[in-house]
């Protein structure tokens, strides 16, 4: 299989995707520094993942893989969702986004939420594949843990003994995360259609 070039400019996502893909036997190339970032102008994860992957496949002539992820909180009607990166403002930090989430959730007893990752794979010839991965859990009352990134300190997945994603090791997160699930589905789909993306 040809190597995949990663569309993400987020170093945490790069690390997670490279770890999971290499364990699945897929080689990755980091996003070339000279390639401009694509504005996420769509209002769905699928739309934004495809935007990012198409742009990179066109510029690099490699098979490109892009992920778009959102945190969907039941009590907030699915917010922040596709706008998770900008929840507390255009250039909000992870800590500011987490603070806003905890403030909005202060009066809610229903803490259910899920992460959803959509991954788009696009070849320079125009072949496209879209897969998803979901992780269910709860929003905690306060941040816990120092690993991971983004909303990890306030998200306790089901089946993690009450720990947040930020209290898991990198390999524990990569065993169960929304992103890892999407990447495993991607690898399974490619294994079923071995001639695609070769």
Binding site for ligand ITT (CB under 6 A): 8-10, 13, 67-69, 84-85, 94, 97, 148-152, 165, 177, 179
Q: In the complex, what is the shortest distance from the CB of residue 14 to ligand ITT, in angstroms, rounded to a whole number?
A: 8
Asked about 68 being catalytic, the answer comes back as yes
Residue identified by tokens 């699945």 is 24
Q: Which position among 68, 99, 110, 159 bears the catalytic label?
A: 68
The SS3 call for residue 164 is coil
CB 150 within 8 A of CB 12: yes
Please say which residue, 75 or 176, places its beta carbon nearer to ligand ITT: 176
Q: In the complex, what is the shortest distance from the CB of residue 70 to ligand ITT, in angstroms, rounded to a whole number?
A: 6
Q: Which positions ≥6 away from 89 have C-beta within 8 Å?
A: 96
The rounded Cα 168 to chain-centroid distance in angstroms is 17
Judge residue 74's burial from the number of C-beta atoms within 10 Å of its C-beta, 0-12 exposed, 13-18 middle, 19 or more buried.
middle
Q: In the complex, what is the shortest distance from the CB of residue 190 to ligand ITT, in angstroms, rounded to a whole number?
A: 21
Q: Which residue has its beta carbon closest to ligand ITT?
A: 150
Active site residues: 68
């Amino acid at each position: 299989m040809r190597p995949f070039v990663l569309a993400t400019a987020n170093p945490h996502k790069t690390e997670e995707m490279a770890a999971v893909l290499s364990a699945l036997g897929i080689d990755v190339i980091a996003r070339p520094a000279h390639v401009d970032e694509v504005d996420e102008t769509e209002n769905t994860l699928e739309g934004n993942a495809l935007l990012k992957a198409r742009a990179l496949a066109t510029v690099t002539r490699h098979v490109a893989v892009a992920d778009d992820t959102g945190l969907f909180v039941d009590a907030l009607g699915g917010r922040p969702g596709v706008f998770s990166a900008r929840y507390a403002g255009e250039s909000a930090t992870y800590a500011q986004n987490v603070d806003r989430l905890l403030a909005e959730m202060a009066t809610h007893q229903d803490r259910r939420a899920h992460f959803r990752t959509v991954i788009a794979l696009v070849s320079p010839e125009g072949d496209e594949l879209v897969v998803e991965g979901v992780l269910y859990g709860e929003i905690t009352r306060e941040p816990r843990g120092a690993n991971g990134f983004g909303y990890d300190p306030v998200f306790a997945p089901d089946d993690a003994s009450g720990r947040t994603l930020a209290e898991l090791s990198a390999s524990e997160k990569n065993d169960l995360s929304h992103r890892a699930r999407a990447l495993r589905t991607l690898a399974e789909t490619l294994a079923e259609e071995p001639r695609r993306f070769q």
